[in-house]
Amino acid sequence: MADFLQQVVAGLASGGVYALLALALVLIHRATGIINFAQGEMAMFSTYILWTLTVNHGWPYWPAFAFTLAASFVGGAGVYHVVIRPNSASSVLRVVIVTIGLLIFVNGLAQFIWTGEVRAVESPFPSGTVDIGGVVIAWSNVGTIAVSIGIVVLLWLFFQFTKVGLAMRAAAVNPAEARLVGVRVTHMLGLGWGLAAILGAVAGMLTAPSLFLDPTMMQATLIYAFAAAVLGGIDSPVGAVVGGLTLGVLLNVLSWLSQYGLFDWFTEELRLPTALLIILGVLLVKPSGIFGRTEVKRV
């Protein structure tokens, strides 16, 4: 049982990372109706900023973390204003293709700057474990879960209780109307891209110590984030969080069960295909996801 709970907690930790990146996808999808395929690569790029600051410039971890968040915000907003906005008046397809181009561009840029060499990224959390009633949990998992939850709560408070947060929601649900009350919609969308980039950066930085950093680091995580977002409902922030945590726990529990002969065909290699099967399954059975509202189109 303790063994099982350990797997669940480890699953919550990886699920927290999926949830953060899924939340970034949901944020942008709600605001602009597009999927940012470059979200994972942008997160990887952010993580390189952290690595450069801590390793090459000797910065302590948390100041480097904070600087990376600020840089990611500026980068995300910049990407929106320079690359996305000029294209957004045309078809959704065109913008989606632009984000795929962005994925390739950011990846190439990272290779160019930092080479494809695998780098170790330090963890901000102590390396040991903590024993809670017989359940042994790594501090890194505790830290990852805590930071994920903290970020989600902060984001919720921001959207619920601040004027800018409210204006961002208004701009997302009804841009024409938002302009009439004086909200500068393009500014809000830029802010949204900046916030999404911050979420991605946190996901990248939390996951880097265990995945190791190279230009492909976030590609699998992006697929898990897609699965989480689709599972929860691509327009539901709550869904993204629940979807991410569920997916993390599910994959770990499947691994755990396979040790005991149940689902013994389930190997590490099947984690990613499982995520894709979930995407496919949800889209076929309930395209709006668990928490998504079915869109009613008025005739």
The least distance separating another protein from the CB of residue 294, rounded to whole angstroms, comes to: 14
The least distance separating another protein from the CB of residue 162, rounded to whole angstroms, comes to: 10
Residue of 71, 137, 178, 202 that binds another protein (CB under 8 A): 178
Confirm if 27 and 236 have CB atoms less than 8 A apart. no
| Of residues 119 and 179, the one with the C-beta less far from another protein | 179
Q: Mark 185-224 with x for binding to another protein (rule: CB under 8 A) and - for no binding.
A: ----------------------------------------
- Compute, in degrees rounded to 10, the torsion defined by CA atoms 288, 289, 291, 295: 0
Q: Mark 112-131 with x for binding to another protein (rule: CB under 8 A) and - for no binding.
A: --------------------
Report the run of H or E that residue 131 belongs to, with start and end.
strand 129-132
Residue of 85, 119, 169, 286 that binds another protein (CB under 8 A): 169
Note whether 180 binds another protein by CB under 8 A.
Answer: yes
Q: How far apart are CA 129 and CA 138, in angstroms?
A: 4
Confirm if 111 and 215 have CB atoms less than 8 A apart. yes
Report the run of H or E that residue 106 belongs to, with start and end.
helix 92-114
Q: What is the DSSP letter of 119?
A: B
Q: Mark 129-168 with x for binding to another protein (rule: CB under 8 A) and - for no binding.
A: ----------------------------------x--xx-
Note whether 170 binds another protein by CB under 8 A.
Answer: yes
Helices (H), 33-60: 39-51
The least distance separating another protein from the CB of residue 69, rounded to whole angstroms, comes to: 27
Picking from 276, 220, 269, 240, the residue whose alpha carbon sits closest to that of residue 44 is: 220
